[in-house]
Amino acid sequence: MRRSLLWALIGVALFAGAAWGQCGCEPTIEGVPDCYTSFWSGDQVLFKLVVPVDFFFACSGCPTPFVVGWRVETLDGFALSSASFAEPKPHGFELAWNGHDQWGNRIPAGFYRVVVLTDTVGEFGAVIELVERPCGVGPCWCPCLTCCGDVPSSVPCCPPFGMPYVEITNTASESSSFFRIELTIVQTGSSTP
């Protein structure tokens, strides 16, 4: 009798723990997206459009989408930086954003949306968070060389079933580098032969 009661309590506890783990009980903070990828402000953000195999099953007869451009915008929809391509790029083509707006100014810390534009199935976006380095903009000059800590933590998003999505890649290394050069070349006007 006691043994069966003990097993019943263990079963109820396991069931309750599993149910609690599935409910998404963490409180949401106003103004903070449910999922995002974090970067140090000023680091390069790599991203690409992923078209999963299940897209072609969920949308039989749909053409393969090609990337025709991208933009980075505030969560309100104000475009900060963008690019468009004369020739469409295949999905999976890796794109990069340098963390600056279209005028070359570094974007401040906050949440932003990276949007990839396609030729046939619309726009797809993912949220990123830019975080200021604790030691400021430049390299950390600490005896231990780790005062800036690791890359900020992210809250991963689950890929949607049957739909393309934007995959954000955080390849930032630890911030113990001493030297970094960033070169931006701006081409104005056009040349015609």
How many whole angstroms separate alpha carbon 34 and alpha carbon 115? 17
In this prediction the pTM is 0.68
Q: Strand, coil or helix: what is 162? A: coil
Q: 172 has which bridge partners? A: none
Decide if domain 38-169 falls under CATH 3.40.50.880: no
Contact between residue 42 and residue 32 where contact means Cβ atoms under 8 Å apart: no
pLDDT (tens digit, 0 to 9) for every residue of the chain, 193 residues total?
677 665 655 655 554 444 444 434 344 566 788 899 998 888 889 999 999 988 888 888 888 899 999 999 999 999 999 999 999 999 999 999 999 999 999 999 999 999 999 999 899 999 999 998 776 445 554 444 445 556 677 888 888 888 999 999 876 544 444 445 555 555 555 444 4
Burial class for 41, CB neighbours closer than 10 Å (0-12, 13-18, 19+): middle
Contact between residue 105 and residue 97 where contact means Cβ atoms under 8 Å apart: no
